[in-house]
Structure 1
């Protein structure tokens, strides 16, 4: 458990003060956001570790294992920060187990390449959504959230391997492009469900519970448009049409 007075993590005391002084619904939203991000990091670790077992070469296994290790490191750091804020990380994560189970059940990759694309664009979409919500948090809490999303492992490895596969067999591109579109649709659907099912997150987004600023319907539409644009850029980097 991290020490909330440690100089090695200067953002935690400020975040702790901001959260302690916040109205209850806003605090609920922050806890929900940190909980869903923590669960996402742990889920990403588990998925990448499973993908590593299916990798076609030792080099690929090592690369994916390294990516999984980064995700685990993110989870452990966020777990410690939640504890420093006086929050039980596992209680904060528990409400999102069904959410992630639904998403992964609908987006189970059929082969190793689809797993790579899911790791790259799926995790990117989730991070975009959490960053958008973080924009409406107090500065100290926002810093904590953004720090927990910083870095996703060696994404250059994924780009290289997908582009190599397309070069070896151009027919792969069409299949993976369709897969990327499916991931996009499911990710946006799950993001909307997460916001709708958790009152605190909704309050943060729309400025509820006496928060000064928030999103109106037009702003929410622009948020999803930005997420779509970012997805298209990631697909292009992979050499795939969006």
Structure 2
């Protein structure tokens, strides 16, 4: 990830309406991503095979919920309605979740770790080009709340108990990768703030070529996550 825009000499980024629109898009996406994560963790808890697992997922959902308000507050400080900022991002996120609805507990675990990891990596990458305050807020909001360790532990144990699970989940992980890349590309291309920031060269070093490099790094991190789960990409 590159240094923030402050180190690139961008003195007053919010004086640029394209830059401000891009930040609003990013924060709107991050906020709605957290809302969506809370919903799905709560749903996943219903499939949990044990009370211990159910309680753990509900605790993670509560931790995700607590991260939403600071992003909503920041959007308000930027002079926009936070819910209006989130609304245009709903369709893309909801389409991804509709296309990748897990069929069982194991698929829900992999999706929570791999699917969310892909989306979060994209917004961390973009945030690396933004002002320090925005970057810190995005990174803090997307910090793991214990979900990664929980998922890795459960999935590895499941594969050890039944090796047939591994092959199925490896295919599931590849499907998640394809759907997530499609989603992030569509958001980057269709949101005026983000597309204007990239295409119109509002930040030094951020262009379509850089986006391609980002996707390469995101793909590598996906492979690493799959490896931690004991799955081949």
Once the two structures are superposed, what CA deviation does each residue of 1:73-125 show, in whole Å capped at 9, x if it has no partner? Answer: 11122222222333211010000111111101110001011000000011111
1:158 alignment partner, one of 151, 169, 190: 151
Aligned to 2:8: none
Q: TM-score, structure 1 length as denominator?
A: 0.87
1:167-182 alignment runs, 5 A limit? 167-182=160-175
In structure 2, C-alpha distance between the alignment counterparts of 1:166 and 1:187, rounded to whole Å: 24
Once the two structures are superposed, what CA deviation does each residue of 1:29-78 show, in whole Å capped at 9, x if it has no partner? Answer: 11011001100000000000011011111001011111111111111222
In structure 2, C-alpha distance between the alignment counterparts of 1:44 and 1:229, rounded to whole Å: 23
Determine if contact 2:44/2:105 at 8 Å carries over to the other structure. yes
Classify 1:35/1:18 alpha carbon distance in 2 versus 1 (closer, same or farther; 3 Å): farther
Aligned to 1:213: 204
CA RMSD of aligned residues (A): 1.6
Aligned to 1:6: none
Aligned to 2:187: 194
In structure 2, the residue corresponding to 1:117 is in which secondary structure? helix
Once the two structures are superposed, what CA deviation does each residue of 1:149-208 show, in whole Å capped at 9, x if it has no partner? Answer: 2234332111110001000000100000000000000000000000111021123334x2
More displaced 10-residue stretch of structure 1: 71-80 or 148-157: 148-157
1:184 aligns with 2:177: yes
Cα distance, 1:18 vs. partner? 5.2
Aligned to 1:233: 224
1:74 aligns with 2:67: yes
In structure 2, C-alpha distance between the alignment counterparts of 1:104 and 1:185, rounded to whole Å: 13
Classify 1:39/1:166 alpha carbon distance in 2 versus 1 (closer, same or farther; 3 Å): same
In structure 2, the residue corresponding to 1:92 is in which secondary structure? helix
In structure 2, the residue corresponding to 1:150 is in which secondary structure? coil
In structure 1, C-alpha distance between the alignment counterparts of 2:198 and 2:60, rounded to whole Å: 31
- Structure 2: give runs of 5+ residues left out of the alignment: 1-10
In structure 2, C-alpha distance between the alignment counterparts of 1:100 and 1:232, rounded to whole Å: 22
Cα distance, 1:220 vs. partner? 2.0
Classify 1:152/1:197 alpha carbon distance in 2 versus 1 (closer, same or farther; 3 Å): farther
1:1-242 alignment runs, 5 A limit? 21-206=14-199, 208=200, 211-242=202-233
In structure 2, the residue corresponding to 1:159 is in which secondary structure? helix
Aligned to 1:10: none
Cα distance, 1:141 vs. partner? 2.2
Residues matched between the structures, number: 223
Q: TM-score, structure 2 length as denominator?
A: 0.90
